[in-house]
């Protein structure tokens, strides 16, 4: 449990170490020592450490086991003493007095090692925290344990009075087990991040002229040539220099099938070389590669705080002082009325049952489990607040191009005005397409060949939502490549033959791109665009979550009607970026919080304006600032899954907080009235942490929403679904 706000990270679990509540003094001798957020992490670190003095880890576990063994014996002797009271045996004279004295002495003899074995480390940890200005419940509980032990020793020496050795022993055992359980649960909640950090090798093979040498990965610099063998992971981002290989990119992009890479192709760090020895030319240092950026993004999300976490922190800030005052009042009240032994037991019960472990774990553990499981599902939440915002969305707006449609299209036909040479149309289109990242621009480059070398463009400019323009040497007016709206805005005349083509293609619902120069449109490219095969399942998944769904696109009305009929979803067509922005704001006012799903580039304004922005295809670029959530794969079904997962996360956080608040309120009341024995209070403390941990870990097995859809919705999946068109794939020249 952390009692305060964070300053640095725990060296075991990564949770923030609480800042100083008072004093705020820097302790020089501790600056180089490991820092832990709680005694549980310190204990677990000692158990699992692989360095240090030989046998230290084994001794830590042995110490706990020995303490448990001794505690069990103390309990046996204590129960024997209790039997004297149950059966009314007189302990003041004769054999009974001798036996009672012997049993008390044995309890003292066996409990003293338990206090040293388990109590001493907790006291040291609490004092170290106190030196940093952090007040924790550990020091208050240990004060109660020591007081109970001293009180019991005095009773043994006097030969009269109650002894509470079993209370101190059981409290120490349960505290240690509880804190260890908490620490290990935090580690389990961050398994994915740990696995990612361990993927990259510590040593790589570098080519130095004709020689090969092994160097630490930290010494790799840009332009280095690295030799990567089959079965090894690429240590950083780069470009394939020599050789061809099949590469498994599932870790980053979610692509389940291997991708064949040839010289000149880009390689993502952390992906797996499957079948051939290759040479990689480094383009990013390992510390700045894709995998490192992904890890950094997850770490940043872990450290961020949502609304519920800030609420829990505010509660924790006054929780401990209030508990200390209640415990003091309980001690005085029961001590004056029922004896100081009874007062001590009641006060210890208050401190134990009110241990804020459950409150401290309620939000961060659930958030960490959620972030970890989402990362496994190729969903990257940028912060805990993004989870909370996504959980309350009422509407989802999809961009069409590159989101609902595949990022691979093909040219079906190329039409010209009948006067312009087809080669010139294609050559100019290829030159302009090379300056754009749009899917249709990439398709023009991939599906066409020009026998004439394209001349260099003097200047070009991207026009968001419209297309691209560029000027050639010796020409005043620019050449335009884009939508019909772009041509009309620049006063381009559309010849009758191309007007007929556009009307025909629009009626058929086909995607088109126009090219024009010298005040007239010269050609029309018609594309075969393919819906993603999981688009229907994603839409059905969103409907199952009772979300308001619509599609935003810059395509013409005919194209919009075609998409609407295929997916049975309202489509807003002919939108420029400003139009999408206005619709997002309007939807927020009329429906509620909106999630916008786009490619994160052309849709940046809409993504930023939405309550939650979700960027598709972000596996190789997790640093996009316009999106709250990045999908590292192209699986559209991750969208309804992410929304359902966010809702489940917030439900569990609220359950955890409700349990922690209710448990502490009821437990403190019972303990303050003297109705709760310290051993029962310690057991309840352990149970409360287990409840929060078990509830939070449920998030790591959250199933995909789309898998629960019965399948009775109309589907269009039959392989990939293409919009009706006469397909003509391959190169067009």
Q: Decide: 236 and 285 in contact? Cβ < 8 Å.
A: yes
Q: Decide: 126 and 13 in contact? Cβ < 8 Å.
A: no
Tokens of 505: 């293609």
- Three-class DSSP category at 613: strand
- Three-class DSSP category at 337: helix
- Three-class DSSP category at 636: coil
DSSP designation for 675: -
CA 509/CA 519 separation, integer angstroms: 27
Contacts of 566 (CB under 8 A, 6+ apart): 531, 716, 721, 723
DSSP designation for 95: H
Name the residue with tokens 């393919």. Answer: 530
Q: Please report, to the nearest 10 degrees, the dihedral formed by the alpha carbons of residues 255, 259, 264, 269 taken in order.
A: 50
Strand pairing category for 629-631 and 612-615: parallel
Q: Decide: 681 and 669 in contact? Cβ < 8 Å.
A: no
Contacts of 23 (CB under 8 A, 6+ apart): 132, 133
Contacts of 489 (CB under 8 A, 6+ apart): 466
Nearest to 595 by CA among 636, 550, 561: 550
Which stretches within 219-306 are classed as H helix? 250-253, 290-303
State how far the alpha carbon of 102 is from the alpha carbons of 81, 95, 109, 160, 329, in Å. 10, 10, 10, 13, 35
Give residue 716's region: left, alpha or beta (phi > 0; psi -120 to 50): alpha
Q: Please report, to the nearest 10 degrees, the dihedral formed by the alpha carbons of residues 261, 211, 283, 628 taken in order.
A: 80
Contacts of 478 (CB under 8 A, 6+ apart): 469, 470, 471, 517
Is there a catalytic annotation at residue 621?
Answer: no
CA 549/CA 235 separation, integer angstroms: 42
Q: How far is CA 532 from the centre of its chain?
A: 26
State how far the alpha carbon of 114 is from the alpha carbons of 64, 79, 138, 150, 177, in Å. 9, 18, 16, 14, 14
CA 572/CA 586 separation, integer angstroms: 13
- Three-class DSSP category at 104: helix
CA 58/CA 70 separation, integer angstroms: 18
Catalytic residue among 399, 537, 599, 644: 399
- Three-class DSSP category at 213: strand
CA 495/CA 133 separation, integer angstroms: 80
State how far the alpha carbon of 632 is from the alpha carbons of 304, 533, 616, in Å. 20, 17, 7
Long-range contacts of 664-669, Cβ-Cβ distance < 8 Å, separation of 24 or more: 664/319, 664/353, 664/354, 664/356, 664/358, 664/359, 667/353, 667/354, 668/323, 668/326, 668/350, 668/353, 668/354
Contacts of 447 (CB under 8 A, 6+ apart): 410, 411, 729, 730, 731, 732
Give residue 152's region: left, alpha or beta (phi > 0; psi -120 to 50): alpha
Catalytic residue ranges = 399
């Amino acid at each position: 449990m952390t009692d305060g706000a964070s300053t640095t990270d725990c060296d075991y679990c990564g949770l923030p170490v609480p800042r100083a509540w008072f004093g705020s003094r820097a302790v020089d001798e501790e600056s180089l020592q490991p820092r832990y957020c709680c005694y549980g992490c310190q204990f677990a670190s000692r158990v699992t450490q692989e360095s240090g003095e030989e046998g230290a880890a084994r001794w830590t576990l042995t110490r706990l086991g020995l303490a448990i063994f001794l505690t069990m014996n103390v309990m046996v002797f204590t129960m024997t003493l209790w039997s004297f009271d149950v059966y009314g045996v007189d302990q003041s004279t004769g054999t009974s007095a001798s036996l009672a004295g012997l049993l008390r002495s044995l309890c003292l003899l066996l409990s003293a090692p338990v206090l040293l074995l388990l109590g001493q480390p907790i006291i040291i940890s609490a004092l170290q925290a106190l030196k940093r200005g952090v007040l924790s419940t550990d020091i208050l509980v240990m004060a109660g344990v020591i007081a109970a032990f001293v009180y019991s020793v005095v009773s043994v020496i006097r030969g009269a009075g109650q002894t509470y050795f079993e209370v101190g022993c059981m409290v120490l055992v349960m505290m240690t087990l509880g804190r260890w359980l908490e620490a290990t649960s935090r580690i389990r909640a961050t398994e994915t991040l740990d696995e990612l950090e361990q993927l990259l090798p510590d040593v790589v093979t570098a080519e130095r002229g004709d020689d090969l040498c092994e160097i630490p990965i930290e010494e790799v610099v840009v332009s280095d040539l690295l030799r990567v063998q089959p079965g090894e992971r690429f240590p950083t981002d780069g470009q394939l220099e020599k050789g061809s290989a099949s590469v498994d990119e599932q870790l980053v992009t979610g692509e389940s099938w291997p991708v064949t890479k040839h010289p000149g192709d880009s390689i993502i760090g952390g992906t797996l070389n499957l079948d051939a020895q290759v040479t990689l030319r480094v383009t990013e240092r390992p510390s700045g590669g894709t995998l490192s950026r992904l890890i950094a993004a997850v770490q940043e999300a872990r450290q961020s705080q949502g609304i519920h976490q800030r609420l829990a922190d505010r509660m924790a800030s006054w929780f401990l002082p209030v508990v200390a005052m209640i415990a003091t009042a309980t001690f005085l009240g029961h001590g004056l009325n029922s004896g100081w032994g009874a007062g001590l037991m009641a006060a210890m019960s208050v401190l134990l049952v009110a241990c804020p472990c459950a409150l401290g774990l309620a939000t961060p553990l659930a958030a960490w489990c959620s972030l970890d499981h989402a990362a496994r599902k190729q969903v990257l939440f940028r912060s805990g607040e993004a989870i909370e915002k996504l959980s309350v969305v009422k509407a989802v707006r999809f961009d069409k191009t590159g989101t609902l449609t595949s990022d691979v299209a093909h040219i079906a036909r190329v039409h010209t005005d009948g006067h312009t040479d087809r080669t010139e149309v294609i050559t100019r289109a290829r030159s302009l397409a090379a300056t754009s990242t749009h899917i249709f621009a990439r398709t023009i480059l991939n599906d066409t060949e020009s026998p004439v070398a394209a001349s260099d463009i003097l200047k070009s400019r991207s026009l968001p939502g419209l297309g691209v323009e560029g000027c050639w040497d010796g020409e005043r007016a620019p050449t335009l490549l884009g939508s019909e709206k772009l041509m009309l805005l620049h006063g381009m005349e559309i010849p009758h033959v191309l007007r007929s083509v556009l009307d025909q293609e629009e009626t058929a619902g086909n995607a088109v791109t126009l090219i024009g120069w010298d005040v007239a449109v010269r050609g029309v490219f018609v594309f075969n665009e393919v819906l993603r095969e999981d688009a229907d399942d994603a839409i059905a998944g969103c409907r199952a979550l009772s979300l308001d769904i619509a599609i935003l696109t810059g395509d013409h009305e005919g194209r919009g009607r075609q998409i609407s009929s295929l997916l049975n979803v309202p489509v807003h067509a002919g939108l420029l970026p400003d139009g999408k922005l206005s619709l997002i704001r309007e939807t927020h006012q009329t429906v509620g919080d909106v999630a916008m799903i786009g490619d994160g580039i052309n849709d940046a304004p809409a993504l930023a304006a939405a309550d939650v922005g979700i960027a598709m295809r972000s596996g190789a670029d997790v640093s996009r600032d316009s999106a709250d959530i990045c999908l590292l794969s192209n699986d559209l079904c991750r969208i309804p899954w992410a929304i359902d997962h966010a809702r489940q996360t917030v439900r569990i956080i609220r359950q955890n907080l409700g349990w922690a608040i209710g448990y502490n309120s009821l437990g403190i009341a019972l303990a303050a009235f003297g109705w709760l024995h310290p051993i029962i209070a310690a057991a309840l403390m352990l149970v409360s942490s287990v409840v929060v941990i078990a509830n939070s870990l449920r998030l790591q097995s959250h199933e995909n929403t789309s898998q629960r859809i019965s399948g009775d919705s109309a589907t269009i999946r039959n392989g990939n679904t293409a919009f009706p068109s006469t397909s003509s794939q391959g190169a067009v020249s």
